[in-house]
């Protein structure tokens, strides 16, 4: 029987009832090689301090709840393994660029408002009745947007984006990727409505192509590409609008 | 957000490759000065050519070369991030192919330019 391995986990704690500012606490957590950082946090909650607060649900990188800064890098804690950091200390903090609500839980309301604003649903090109049957879409049309449907709203890309940190009103990577997802859908006709936001002061031009959003995305959505492609779309829209008063965001 | 870019090696690299743009601008100014000297007559132009041959100028140009080569390297690396996805025969072109094509085009263009200048000089 091998000796029980123990790792130090430093947690950024913040209890709004008693704390003026966040502070760090270090816990010595026994672990096995199959344990994720999320399980480490659960061990702390079960054995050391039941007040430790963090979001989690599926434990398999699909719900997007358990994002946190792990040694300064935004990651899903359920798919990050303690063994990869041992014997060094792991530091876990709430996701960057969001206000902390409590411990590792951030206030996502600004993200939700931005997401609602871009109308992340199909806006049909023309009214359609049940009798007309289903929409027909070719595999090539499907391939245009499928990548962006993988977004799980984990907001790791917001924590990765320095421009979100500098301008809290910037729509940000995931929201723009989802706007792009619907814009690229052959059934959708809402491009003009979404373009107003994409091309606005808080839209795509806040991006300076750092590219870290795409790097940290756990679902390979490549939100950075969606943002940058929409810089081209916004420029085209501007000049086509200039040429034809009806506008031409296609 | 002060000093945000020091927090992550990825941001540091971003700041380094963005700052190499200053070297591109500096070299453009050198070329513009050359053009200005050319417009001022033969003596001014020959003076400019002499100045380019000084050891300091050669060292500065080597620094320019390294900085601009690094800038070009990161510029091509960003292609897959900034360009619309290309579909060829129903398949998306891989990021590596996009970067490779950019490099090939740049190298071919540089060689053609070098060849042209060589012929004019000869």
Q: Is B81 on the interface with A (CB under 8 A)?
A: yes
Residues of A in contact with B14 (CB under 8 A): 210-212
Output phi, psi for A139, to 5 deg. -55, -35
DSSP 8-class letter at B1: -
A125 pLDDT higher than 90: no
What are the counts of helices (DSSP H) followed by strands (DSSP E) for chain B?
6, 2
pLDDT of residue A1: 52
Share of chain A above pLDDT 70, in %: 96
Q: Per residue in A148-157, pLDDT tens? A: 999 999 999 9
Residues of A in contact with B7 (CB under 8 A): 72
Token digits for A41?
């946090």
pLDDT of residue A2: 65
> Is the separation of the CB atoms in A147 and A220 below 8 Å?
yes
B1 pLDDT higher than 60: yes
A248 pLDDT higher than 80: no
CA atoms within 13 A of residue A182's CA, in its CB half-sphere: 24
Q: Is B118 on the interface with A (CB under 8 A)?
A: no
pLDDT of residue B109: 94
Q: Per residue in A68-122, pLDDT tens? A: 999 999 999 999 999 999 999 999 999 999 999 999 999 999 999 999 999 999 9
Quote the mean pLDDT of chain B: 92
Q: Is B19 on the interface with A (CB under 8 A)?
A: no
Q: Is A211 on the interface with B (CB under 8 A)?
A: yes
Q: Per residue in A23-68, pLDDT tens? A: 999 999 999 999 999 999 999 999 999 999 999 999 999 999 999 9
CA atoms within 13 A of residue B121's CA, in its CB half-sphere: 6
A239 pLDDT higher than 50: yes
A250 pLDDT higher than 50: no
- Residue B92: which pLDDT band, with cuts at 50, 70 and 90? confident
Residue A204: CB atoms within 10 A of its CB come to: 24
- What distance in Å separates the CA atoms of residue A86 and residue A94, rounded to the nearest whole number? 21
Same fold across A5-106 and A109-243: no
Residues of A in contact with B90 (CB under 8 A): 140, 143
User: Among A122-126, A168-172, A219-223, whose mean pLDDT is lowest?
Assistant: A122-126
| β-strands A90-93, A67-70 pairing | antiparallel
CATH entry, A109-243, from 3.40.50.300, 3.30.70.250, 1.10.1060.10, 3.30.360.10? 1.10.1060.10
Q: Which residue of A has its CA nearest to B90?
A: A140
> Is the separation of the CB atoms in B5 and B12 below 8 Å?
yes
Q: Per residue in B31-53, pLDDT tens? A: 999 999 999 999 999 999 999 99
ipTM at complex level: 0.86
> Is the separation of the CB atoms in A35 and A82 below 8 Å?
yes
What homologous superfamily does CATH list for A5-106? Beta-grasp domain (3.10.20.30)
- Residue A249: which pLDDT band, with cuts at 50, 70 and 90? very low
Residue B50: CB atoms within 10 A of its CB come to: 10
Please give, one letter per residue, the 3-state secondary structure of chain A: CCCCEEEEEEEEECCCCCCCCCEEEEEEEEECCCCEHHHHHHHHHHHCCCCCCCCCCCCCCCCCCCEEEECCEEEEHHHCEHHHCCCCCEEEECCCCCCEEECCEECCHHHHHHHHHCCCCCCECCCCCHHHCCCCCCHHHHHHHHHHHHCCCCCHHHHHCHHHHHCCCCCCHHHHHHHHHHHCCCCECCHHHHHHHHCCCCCHHHCCCCCHHHHHCCCCCCHHHHHHHHHHHHHHHHHHHHHCCCCCCC
> Is the separation of the CB atoms in A123 and A42 below 8 Å?
no
Q: Is B11 on the interface with A (CB under 8 A)?
A: yes
> Is the separation of the CB atoms in A194 and A123 below 8 Å?
no
Q: A87: exposed, middle or buried (C-beta count within 10 Å: 0-12, 13-18, 19+)? A: exposed
Is the Cβ pair B81, A212 closer than 8 Å? no
Is the Cβ pair A215, B10 closer than 8 Å? yes
Q: Is B8 on the interface with A (CB under 8 A)?
A: yes
Q: Which residue of A has its CA nearest to B88?
A: A140
Ordered by start, the domain boundaries in chain A are 5-106, 109-243
pLDDT of residue A156: 98
Q: Per residue in A187-211, pLDDT tens? A: 999 999 999 999 999 999 999 999 9
User: Among A127-136, A172-181, B83-92, B113-122, whose mean pLDDT is lowest?
Assistant: B83-92
Nearest CB partner across the interface for A162, out of B5, B80, B92: B5
């Amino acid at each position: 029987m091998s000796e029980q391995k123990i790792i130090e986990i430093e947690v950024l704690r913040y209890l709004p009832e008693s704390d003026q500012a966040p502070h760090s606490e270090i816990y010595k957590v026994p672990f096995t090689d199959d344990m994720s950082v999320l399980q480490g946090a659960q061990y702390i909650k079960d054995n050391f301090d039941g007040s430790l607060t963090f979001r989690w649900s599926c434990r398999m990188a699909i719900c997007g709840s358990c994002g946190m800064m792990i040694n300064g890098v935004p990651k899903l804690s359920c798919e990050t393994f303690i063994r990869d950091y041992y014997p060094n200390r792991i530091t876990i903090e709430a996701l960057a660029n969001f206000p902390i609500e409590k411990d590792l839980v951030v206030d996502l309301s600004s993200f939700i408002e931005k997401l609602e604003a871009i109308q992340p649903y199909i806006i049909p090109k023309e009214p359609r009745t049940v009798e007309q049957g289903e929409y027909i879409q070719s595999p090539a049309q499907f391939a245009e947007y499928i990548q962006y449907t993988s977004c799980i709203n984990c907001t790791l890309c917001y924590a990765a984006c320095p421009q979100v940190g500098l301008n809290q009103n910037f729509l940000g990577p995931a929201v723009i990727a989802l706007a792009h997802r619907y814009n690229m859908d052959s059934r959708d006709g809402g491009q003009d409505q979404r373009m107003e936001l994409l091309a606005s002061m808080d839209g795509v031009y806040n991006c300076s192509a750092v590219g870290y959003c795409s790097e940290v995305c756990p679902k390979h959505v490549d939100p950075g590409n969606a943002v940058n492609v929409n810089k081209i779309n916004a420029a085209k829209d501007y000049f086509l609008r200039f040429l034809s008063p009806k506008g031409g965001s296609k | 957000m002060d000093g945000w870019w020091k927090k992550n090696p990825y941001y540091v690299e971003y700041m380094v490759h963005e700052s190499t743009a200053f070297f591109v601008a500096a070299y453009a100014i050198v070329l513009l000065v050359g053009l200005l000297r050319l417009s001022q007559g033969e003596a001014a132009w020959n003076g400019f050519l002499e100045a380019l041959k000084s050891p300091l100028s050669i060292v500065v140009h080597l620094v320019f070369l390294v900085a601009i080569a690094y800038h070009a390297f990161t510029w091509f690396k960003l292609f897959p991030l900034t360009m619309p996805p290309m579909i060829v025969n129903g398949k998306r072109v891989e990021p590596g192919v996009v970067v490779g094509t950019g490099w090939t085009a740049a190298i071919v263009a540089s060689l053609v330019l070098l060849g042209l200048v060589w012929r004019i000089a000869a």
